[in-house]
Structure 1
C-alpha cells in the first residue's frame, strides 16, 4: 500500500491507461490518411476504455449513502458540468465549429466517461441486489444495441455497453488482480504480442481494419448496419476480448510505487485537459507535418509526453479548482 492507503498496482494501471487514452485521442486526426494510425487506434480502443471502467468498478462501493452521493456529485458531475461548458465554448469560439444543438444533452467527446461512471455508481447498489449482476449487465449491454434510437445522446449507449466491464471490476477479487505468477505474465505478454501482430496485419492491409464505431459502443446495431443476431454476437465477442486484455494490463503493470504511481493519482487532470491541446494542434495545422509510420509514432510519443506533462504537480495545482470545485468553495 502507498502512504495514502492506495494500492500501487491500481495507481500504476490508472497512469498507463490515461497515457493510452491521450495517445488514442492524439491519433484521431491521422485516421483518415494513415493505416498504421488506424491499426494502433483500433488496438487501443479494444481494451483501454473497458479497462478504465473495470478499474473504476473495482474501486467503487456498492452504496448510496450521503457520502457516496456527495462523492458522485462533486468528483464526477461537477467537473462534467464545468468542462462541458468549457469545451463547448472552446469549440465555438476558438475552433470556430459552432454550437451543437445537443450540447446540453450530449457529453462532449471525452467527457462521456464522467457521466457514465456517475450512472454506473448509481446503478451499482441495485445491480448488486440482483442475482447474477454480471449476467444482467451483459444482457443490458447486448440489448441496448437493439434500440434503434440509442446513440450519443445522454451518453446512453456507452453507459449500457461498458456496464459489464464496470460490474466485472467490482466483482473481481482483489487477490486475483494482485496475483503475479510468471506463467500469467507470459500469457499476458503473448496476448499483447498477438495484438501487435494484428496491428501489423491491419497496417499493411493484410487484414481489414474494423469500423471503430464498434469499439466506441455508441451506436445501435441498425446504425452499424448489421442484423440483431450479428450485432449481439459481435458485441459479446468484443466484451470478452476487452476483459481478457484488461486482465493482461493488470498482470503487466508494475506493482511497486514509483513516478507512475504518482501520475496515476493525478490522472484526472490529463484526462480533462488534453482535449484542448489535441484540438488546438489539429486546428493550427500541427497534424499536417507527420506522415508515414515515423510520423504516426512521433504523434503517439507526443501523446504520451502530453499525458505526463499535464499530470505534472504544477499543472494539477493550477487547474485543480476546475475539476475539484468543492475545494474552492470550502476556502470561501
Structure 2
C-alpha cells in the first residue's frame, strides 16, 4: 500500500518500549510501520488465495476472515496519518507525485503486462483502475476531502451515510471504482478522528487477551458464512442489487461490515509490536510491495502455476501462502525500493514552478 508517512504525532503515539533517542533519530513511529508491514502480508495472502482452484472451506474461511478487516485497517491507518493534510500547493503537489503519477505509471505497466502475457487487446483505461491500483486514486480523493471531514459534525456518521448510499445504489458506474471509494470512506474518516490515546488503548494487555476469543468467534462465523454468502460484499465494489439482494440491504450490511471491521482491526492492532524489529524498515516500503506483487500473482496465473497438482493439497496451499508472504516481504526491502524509487516515488521538482520566497 501507499508508503504512508509514519511520523509520530506525539509522545503518546510512540511505542512505549522504544527509547526516545531511537524515535527521534528515525522520526517514525515503529508501531505504524510494523502494522503496515503485517497488513501488506495479509493483502498478499488474500491475493494468492484468490486463484486457488477448489481452495476448500478452510481456505475460504481464512479468506473471508482476512478480507473482513485487512483493507479497513490499512485505510484507518492512512486516515490517522493524514490528520495534518492541508490543501496547500506543496501538499497537493506531493499528493500528485506520490499517488497520481505512480498510478498512471503502473496503469500503463500492467496494461503492457496483460498485452504481453496473453491479452493483446487489453485496453488502457486510466478511469478504470487495474485490479489492485484502485487504492491510489481512492487515497488521493480521500486526502483531498480531509479538511471537510475535520470540519463537519459527526463525520463518521456522515461518512457511513455516504457509504450506505453507495451500497444501496447500483448505477454509480465503474469510473475510478467509485463504489469502493464511497464504501471504504468511513474507515478513512474514522482514522482522521483517532488520537494516540486510542492506539494506546488497543495495545493494553486486557485488549490483547480479549482479542483472542473475539477472533476465534469471527473465524467460526466466517466458517459458517462461507457456503451461505458471497465474499463480494467485502470488496465494496458493487451495490446490493448487483449482488442479488434488495437495495435496502445495503444499509444494514454497510453498518454490520463496518462494526466487524473496526472490531477485528482493533484485535489486529492489539498484537502489533510497538518497538523496532526486523519488520519495521519493511513497513516504510509497503507501497512497493503493493504495486509490484501483482505482477507475480498474475504471472503465476498466466503460467498455470496455481493449476499444479501440489497446489490442490493442504501442503501446497501452505506453500502458496508462505511464498506470497516471502514475496511481498522481499518487495518491501530497501534494495527493491532503491531500484524502483524513480517510478514509485518520483521526484518531479523540475516540473514544478519555482515558489516565491517567503
TMscore range, shorter length: over 0.9
Distance 1:293 1:77 in 2: 41
Distance 2:350 2:230 in 1: 45
Would the aligned equivalents of 1:22 and 1:304 in 2 still touch at CA under 8 Å?
yes
1:127 to 149, 158, 163: 149
TM-score of the superposed pair, with normalisation by structure 1: 0.92
Deviation at 1:199, TM superposition (A): 4.9
Is 2:47 the counterpart of 1:56? no
2:123 maps to: 100
Count of residue pairs brought into register by the alignment: 325
Is 2:350 the counterpart of 1:307? no
Q: Which runs of 5+ in 1 are unaligned?
A: none
TM-score of the superposed pair, with normalisation by structure 2: 0.86
Deviates more, 1:226-235 or 1:265-274: 226-235
Deviates more, 1:21-30 or 1:311-320: 311-320
1:271 maps to: 290
Q: Which runs of 5+ in 2 are unaligned?
A: 1-13, 15-22, 352-358
What are the within-5 Å matches in structure 2 for residues 1-332 of structure 1?
1=14, 2=23, 3-30=25-52, 32-60=54-82, 61-96=84-119, 98-100=121-123, 103-179=125-201, 180-201=203-224, 208=227, 210-289=229-308, 290-326=311-347
Q: Relative to 1, partners in 2 of residues 1:324 and 1:161: Cα closer, same or farther, differing over 3 Å?
A: same
Distance 2:107 2:49 in 1: 22
Distance 1:13 1:95 in 2: 37
Would the aligned equivalents of 1:17 and 1:52 in 2 still touch at CA under 8 Å?
yes
| Structure 1 residues 174-222: Cα deviation after superposition (integer angstroms, max 9, x where no partner) | 12212322111111222222233345556xxxx5253121000000111
Deviation at 1:127, TM superposition (A): 2.2
Would the aligned equivalents of 1:158 and 1:218 in 2 still touch at CA under 8 Å?
yes
Deviates more, 1:192-201 or 1:170-179: 192-201
Q: Relative to 1, partners in 2 of residues 1:245 and 1:119: Cα closer, same or farther, differing over 3 Å?
A: same
